[in-house]
Amino acid sequence: MYNSKIIGLGYYVPDHVVSNDDLSKLMDTNDAWIQERTGIKERRWVKPGSEDTTSVMGVKAAKIAIERAGIDKDEIDFIVFATLSPDYYFPGPGVQVQEALGIKTVGALDVRNQCSGFIYGLSVADQFIKTGMYKNVLVIGSELHSKGLDKTTRGRSVSVIFGDGAGAAVLSRTEDNSKGVLSTHLHSEGEHAKELALTAPGMGTRWVDDILRENDPKDESYFPHMNGQFVFKNAVVRFSEVIMEGLMKNNLDKKDIDILIPHQANLRIAQFIQKKFGLNDDQVFNNIMKYGNTTAASIPIALTEAWEQGKIKEGDTVVLAAFGSGFTWGSAIIKW
Ligand code: UT7
């Protein structure tokens, strides 16, 4: 049995910075409220007219990850793309990456597990590598939220949180079983699907002709909805559970964590988990202050930044954890 190891990381965020003060010009909100409740100072939103889309940003992040991996694009055996904001209803962006990177006709899988999407994607890649089916797998998380947010006061409890960006990782086969992805843990609870969702009818529930005919401009179902407090309460419980599950599976203790990289949902959630696990400030990496919540992109962006800043060293126990819409949640325990 092989093991899988991250050998290349990259991220891309649009250069257009949107501050909390900028948002207060669009809706009834303010810097103090946003910072106090979420920790966010600014986020990146693509500029109108920009070439950036979810797939384009994903490709930009992937190119960096592949270059850093030191492999040729044609050595990629499989692509996994996690997003809730694809360019098209179908096909998903995995195939767009295959085309844009000019990779030979390898498989491309689209994962739609929202904030947990990257961990789900990582887990899929890990399994394919562990079983010997593939050697190098490209995993991308990318989101373009800004085009789909309600930027009026009506949508303020959601729209101030989300940002655009992409992150990518190349996982590769290793025969050293003491290194790499030790285990991944995935969960879901569909009972709470509507607590954080965009419930606009899809072709699976309504006739497109009817949707177009009705075309009600006041229809809020085309914007994301979140029962914030309920999601928050579930997040802190599930984050803790799934991190513990990963540690226990590997006979590790919370003292063994060198660095925790949580999905960047809310700085308050990360601080709660930090306290619960008795970690110091250097052991939890956060960048939500700069980018907001970028859903499937948040973990690979944070992982890349932490690595670039030298915060992840050879032999470190790295814990990734996410919770979000679905509800879905997951963790990955990695020996770097
Ligand atoms: O990534 C996926 C997982 N997501 C999460 O884990 C997010 C979990 N939830 C949260 O992070 C928080 O619930 C939020 C940041 C979304 C909201 O914070 P909150 O402390 O739960 O606020 P709230 O929704 O209870 O709203 C408190 C007040 C309300 O006013 P009243 O009713 O007390 O007068 C809101 O209308 O704050 C008001 N409010 C705002 N005020 C200024 C809501 N959004 C805003 C805003 N600016 N942007």
Per residue, what are the HEC states of 47-88? CCCCCCCHHHHHHHHHHHHHHHHCCCHHHCCEEEEECCCCCC
Do 164 and 75 lie in a common domain? yes
Backbone angles phi, psi at 256, to 5 degrees: -80, -10
Could you tell me which of 151, 191, 164, 142 has the C-alpha nearest to residue 328? 191
Backbone angles phi, psi at 116, to 5 degrees: -90, 5
Atom in ligand 1 nearest the alpha carbon of residue 325: 2
pLDDT for residue 58: 98
Do 29 and 163 lie in a common domain? yes
Please pick, among 115, 145, 185, 266, the residue that the annotation labels catalytic: 115
Could you tell me which of 51, 130, 115 has the C-alpha nearest to residue 82? 115
Residue 153 has pLDDT above 90, yes or no: yes
Give how far the C-alpha of residue 147 lies from the chain's centroid of Cα atoms, to the nearest Å.
Answer: 18
Residue type present at position 163: G
Do 46 and 118 lie in a common domain? yes
Residue 206 has pLDDT above 90, yes or no: no
In terms of phi and psi (left: phi > 0; alpha: psi -120 to 50; beta: otherwise), the region of 314 is beta
Q: By mean pLDDT, which of 23-37, 59-73, 197-211 is the weakest?
A: 197-211
263 carries an active-site annotation: yes
Give how far the C-alpha of residue 18 lies from the chain's centroid of Cα atoms, to the nearest Å.
Answer: 20
Total number of domains constituting the chain: 2
Do 133 and 187 lie in a common domain? no
Residue 56 near residue 27 (C-beta atoms within 8 A): no
Domain that holds residue 331: 181-195+224-335
185 carries an active-site annotation: no
Would 202 be classed as within a structural domain? no
Do 38 and 18 lie in a common domain? yes
| Sign of the four-CA dihedral 67, 111, 57, 122 | negative
Do 172 and 306 lie in a common domain? no
Q: Which two tokens stand for residue 295?
A: 């859903």
Would 63 be classed as within a structural domain? yes
The pLDDT confidence band at residue 335, using thresholds 50, 70 and 90, is very high
Would 200 be classed as within a structural domain? no
Closest protein CA for atom 29 of ligand 1: 157
Using only C-alpha atoms, what is the Rg of the chain? Answer: 19
Residue 215 has pLDDT above 90, yes or no: no
Ligand 1 neighbours, Cβ below 6 Å, are 29, 33-34, 37-38, 115, 156-157, 160, 228-229, 231-232, 235, 265-266, 269, 293, 324
Would 324 be classed as within a structural domain? yes
Model pLDDT for residues 160-179, shown as the tens digit of each residue: 999 999 999 999 999 998 89
Please state, in angstroms and rounded to a whole number, the distance separating the CA atoms of residues 246 and 268: 22
Max Cα distance, the chain (Å): 59
The pLDDT confidence band at residue 213, using thresholds 50, 70 and 90, is confident
Residue 17 has pLDDT above 90, yes or no: yes
Do 155 and 239 lie in a common domain? no
3 carries an active-site annotation: no
Do 190 and 139 lie in a common domain? no
Model pLDDT for residues 38-84, shown as the tens digit of each residue: 999 999 999 999 999 999 999 999 999 999 999 999 999 999 999 99
Please state, in angstroms and rounded to a whole number, the distance separating the CA atoms of residues 160 and 152: 10
Would 218 be classed as within a structural domain? no
Do 186 and 137 lie in a common domain? no
Do 20 and 168 lie in a common domain? yes
Do 8 and 155 lie in a common domain? yes
